Amino acid sequence: MPHPVRRLAAAVASTALVALGASACSGASAQITDADGVTTLRYQATPGLMNYAELAAALGYLDGIELQNIGTAQGGPEQLRGLATGQAEFAVGPFNGAIARAVSTGLDMTAVVGSYGTSGDVEMSLLTLASSDLRDGHDLIGKTVGVNTLGANSEALIDTYLADEGLTSEEIEEVTLVPLPGATLEAALRQGQVDGALISFSARASAIKNGGVRDLATDSDFVGDYTGGSTVLMDDFIEQHPDITREFVGALAEAIHWQQTHTKDEVLEVYGDWLAERGREPELATYALWQGNGLPNDGGVLTEHDFSMWLDWLESNGEVEPGSLDVDDVFTNEFNPYADHAADEEGTR
């Protein structure tokens, strides 16, 4: 079923800013390795989502690479802006559909390893109050839904859910999405500022634990297991620093595998010590109910499906010209050592 048309003014503006920034800094390359051979990679943090670059550092996998946190990003589009304008060397986990959209505008960037997804007990929920009359997608017509940002995973999922529920494009336009900081979505729902909210990871677990809410739908209900966001590098970085790229991506893949094969307590003990050494102990509290990042593939290996499923959505809403973008231009598993383990699986490369 084609996905519905939803004009994303904010998202389109964000993409335009990315393209403008990329054009402005085209060909520019920051000096990332000092005289002692230490490479510094800058990034924007994503609260509530396990940062595999930081976990790799905590595990000692980033030999000769130091990380520099330059602040917090509200969502994937903001991370992509920071990457494209040269403020950061990598984006932690923008939505795969947003990555595809950015590449379609002419930005030379590539997803290199998964960052988050849906599998097992880790999923995204469209929550409403337990006392609400909302029971299905049609009940959302004329209502408001809180999301962490426009033009990313939340919007794509809501559009997909509503289309699967049988809503027309015109009816979907009547469901108003309200962008709010992820940390405030639960409160906004409980205070009646929005009728529903798409909430994920620790925030979802916290909302459910606090009671008084219920699932209207979960992404696993209508999408299944998938990798939703990826770590992204600019192509000129990959070309200019192939050895650093291979070491960095390999370290992230190893960190993902380590997290996937260890208990939550073991992971948070290592990660918590690393945060404490940097004066960031309060951040550990946000992981109290964390159950993982939901990546379905060992080591964060990416598949064509992780991108093609959203490319259909982008094409149907007019943001990408049909047939103009090949998913092979959006992602690669070239630097992921776990891709060899998955070579027999359809859709990996």
Residue 18: per-residue pLDDT? 47
**Chosen domain end from 222, 249, 273:** 222
Residue 142: per-residue pLDDT? 98
Residue 80 sits in the same domain as residue 200: no
Contacts of 93 (CB under 8 A, 6+ apart): 46, 49, 76, 79, 115, 116, 229, 230, 231
Residue 11 has pLDDT above 70, yes or no: no
Residue 291 sits in the same domain as residue 264: yes
Q: In angstroms, rounded to a whole number, what is the distance separating the alpha carbons of residues 161 and 64?
A: 45
Taking only the tens place, the pLDDT of each residue in 218-230 is 999 888 999 999 9
Q: In angstroms, rounded to a whole number, what is the distance separating the alpha carbons of residues 349 and 337?
A: 12
Q: What angle do CA 330, 100, 87 make, to 5 degrees?
A: 85
Full-model pTM: 0.86
Taking only the tens place, the pLDDT of each residue in 303-313 is 999 999 999 88
Residue 240 sits in the same domain as residue 300: yes
Contact assessment for residue 313 and residue 1, using Cβ atoms and an 8 Å cutoff: no
Domain extent at residue 210: 125-222
Quick check: helix, strand or coil at residue 293?
A: coil
Q: In angstroms, rounded to a whole number, what is the distance separating the alpha carbons of residues 54 and 57?
A: 5
Other C-beta atoms closer than 10 Å to the C-beta of 141 total 15
Residue 288: per-residue pLDDT? 86
Residue 34: per-residue pLDDT? 84
Task: Report the first-to-last Cα separation within the chain, whole angstroms.
Answer: 27
Is residue 29 very low, low, confident or very high in pLDDT (cuts 50, 70, 90)?
A: low
Q: List residues bridging with 201 in a β-sheet.
A: none
Rounded (to 5) percent helix, strand, coil in the chain: 45, 20, 40
Residue 30: per-residue pLDDT? 65
Percent of the chain with pLDDT over 70: 89
Is residue 286 very low, low, confident or very high in pLDDT (cuts 50, 70, 90)?
A: confident
**Chosen domain end from 222, 241, 266:** 222
Taking only the tens place, the pLDDT of each residue in 31-83 is 788 888 899 999 998 877 889 999 999 999 999 999 999 998 877 889 999 99
CATH of the domain at 159: 3.40.190.10
Better-predicted residue by pLDDT, 45 or 246? 246
Q: How many structural domains does the chain have?
A: 2
CA dihedral 169, 175, 180, 183 (to 10 degrees): -100
Give how far Cα 225 sits from Cα of 78, 104, 114, Å: 25, 25, 13
Residue 190 sits in the same domain as residue 171: yes
Residue 10: per-residue pLDDT? 41
Give how far Cα 198 sits from Cα of 75, 253, 291, Å: 14, 28, 18
Tokens of 231: 């770590």
| 348 in any annotated domain | no
Residue 12 has pLDDT above 70, yes or no: no
Better-predicted residue by pLDDT, 50 or 88? 88
Is residue 17 very low, low, confident or very high in pLDDT (cuts 50, 70, 90)?
A: very low
